Structure formats: structure tokens, C-alpha cells
Amino acid sequence: MMKTTQCSIPTKENERPLIAVLPLWDLERNSLWMLSEYMSAIQASGGTPLVLPFDISAHEAERFARLCDGFLFTGGQDVHPSVYGAQEIPGGLVTCPKRDYLETTVLQAALAADKPILGICRGLQLINAALGGSLYQDIPTEHPGPVHRQGKPYDVPFHTVTLEGSLADLLGQKTLPVNSLHHQAVKTLAPGLVPMAFSPDGLVEAFERPASRFLWAVQWHPEYLFKVDASSRMLFRHFMDSCAKS
């Protein structure tokens, strides 16, 4: 007589943290897309990435928050000033309401479930705006000074940041050369966020939210630096370690 047994044998693969990646939106093609650097950095750090869809409900966001072990908020278009209750300044903004809606919805669900969160570039700006901070909509107009938008290649440092707090502790250093591809920046930091890095012209380039299990965000792009920079690998690895504890 045949005997069937249901057994689940844990493998290394299914012990890997499942990381929800907030999708990119191509305004010209009207299409979801993704940069391979985010995916490969997660995979090389021991996680399994999963790109989320657009147009999900709050309930679906809560489902993903239960399912996934961590959330990566990616780079991209400008955050619309309506997210932080400001009027749009004339000229120059490229916004994506689809992303603002998706990301504020998913952020709320991920925070409620206390899942680890890493924000990169726009991800940092969106998290700050959604939590009650504000942004410089256009750095050259509102915070003139050194340029924060380098050209290609993106895997070379462009300016330094001074490090503080948990990020300085993790990396064991007080300064860090980083790349810089951003058009917007933190103007006022949201309540509950603590800065971890500053650019030479005084912009907040990284923060954490101590009330969360893990919520870190950086203004630079560690996914582009991943292959050439140990600190970027340490940052992703630290995020993945936090996700693995769930």
C-alpha cells in the first residue's frame, strides 16, 4: 500500500529572506521595469528578491507585508510634493503618482508589520515624506551648491559623506565616498528619524528610524557600488541579517 507523506525539507534557498522590491515605472513605455543591480545585490547578500506589482489595494499590501521578510524601496522619479503637503515649484519635476501611491501604501503595511525596510535614493525621500518630513524639490533651485547628480559611470564615488550613529558603527569609519544621482533631498527630517550621514553641503544622506526593528535609508546607490565597494556589501548584508531574524 502506498503511503504518502507530506514533508517539507528545509533547503538553504527557502531559508533565504524574501525581499519585496518596490518596482520601477517607465513613463515612456508605460510599463513596470527593474534594474538588475537591485536584484543581484539582494541575491549576492543571501536574499531572494520579489518585485511587487502596481495597483494593489491596502489589503494586498498587508498580505505582502505578512509574506515578505523585508522591503527595498528603490530609486526613481521625484516624489510629488502632495505626499508631504507642499505646492509644486515651477519646472523640472518628473513625478510618478503610481509609485507615490504604491509606495506609501506598502510602507504603511510594512511599518505596521514591523518588517525591515531599506530605502535607496528616492526610497529615502519617499520614506521621509510619508513619515511627515519634507523635501527639496529641486536641489539646484532650493539648495544651490555642489552638484549631486553625477554622470555615468555610476559605480564610482562622487562626493564624501560624514557618518554618524549606527552606520558609522557598522562600517567602522567616520567618512565614506559615495556616488550621487539625486535631484531631490531631505529638507526637514520626519519625526522619529535620526540622521546617519551628511554630505559636505549639509544634506542628510542617510537616516534610521530607531522605533522600527530595522528602517535604514541612504541617499546614494549602494547597488551600483556593490561589486567594487565593501561598505555597500556590508550595508546590504546588514539589511539581510535583519530580515533573516523574522
Applying CB under 5 A, the residues found at the interface with Mn ion are: 148, 180
Q: Could you tell me the smallest distance in angstroms from the CB atom of residue 30 to Mn ion?
A: 30
Longest Cα–Cα distance of the chain, Å, equals 79
- Contacts of residue 57, defined as CB under 8 A and 6 or more positions apart, other chains included, come to none
Cell of residue 135, nine digits:
523635501
According to DSSP, residue 17 is labeled P
Let me know if 121 is a catalytic residue: yes
Residue nearer to Mn ion on the CB measure, 137 or 180: 180
Let me know if 223 is a catalytic residue: yes
Q: Could you tell me the smallest distance in angstroms from the CB atom of residue 104 to Mn ion?
A: 24
Let me know if 221 is a catalytic residue: yes
Q: Could you tell me the smallest distance in angstroms from the CB atom of residue 225 to Mn ion?
A: 13
Output the CA–CA distances (angstroms, integers) from residue 70 to 7, 140, 152, in the order listed.
27, 34, 30
Residue nearer to Mn ion on the CB measure, 180 or 242: 180
- Pairwise CA distance, residues 97 & 81, whole Å: 11
Residue nearer to Mn ion on the CB measure, 45 or 219: 219
Q: Could you tell me the smallest distance in angstroms from the CB atom of residue 195 to Mn ion?
A: 14
- What is the three-class DSSP state of 66? helix
Question: Which of the following is catalytic: 37, 80, 96, 121?
Answer: 121
Residue nearer to Mn ion on the CB measure, 105 or 128: 128
> Which residue number has the CB closest to Mn ion?
180
b/e 209-237 (16+ beta carbons within 10 angstroms → b): beebbbbbbbbbbbbbbbeebebbbbbbb
> Do you know the residue count of the chain?
246
Contact by Cβ (8 Å): 192, 134: no
Question: Which of the following is catalytic: 103, 223, 238, 243?
Answer: 223
Q: Could you tell me the smallest distance in angstroms from the CB atom of residue 37 to Mn ion?
A: 18
The residue with cell 535604514 is 216
Residue nearer to Mn ion on the CB measure, 63 or 149: 149
User: By 3-state DSSP, what share of the chain in percent is helix, strand and coil, each rounded to 5?
Assistant: 35, 25, 45
Question: Which of the following is catalytic: 182, 221, 238, 243?
Answer: 221
The residues annotated with a catalytic role in the active site are 121, 221, 223
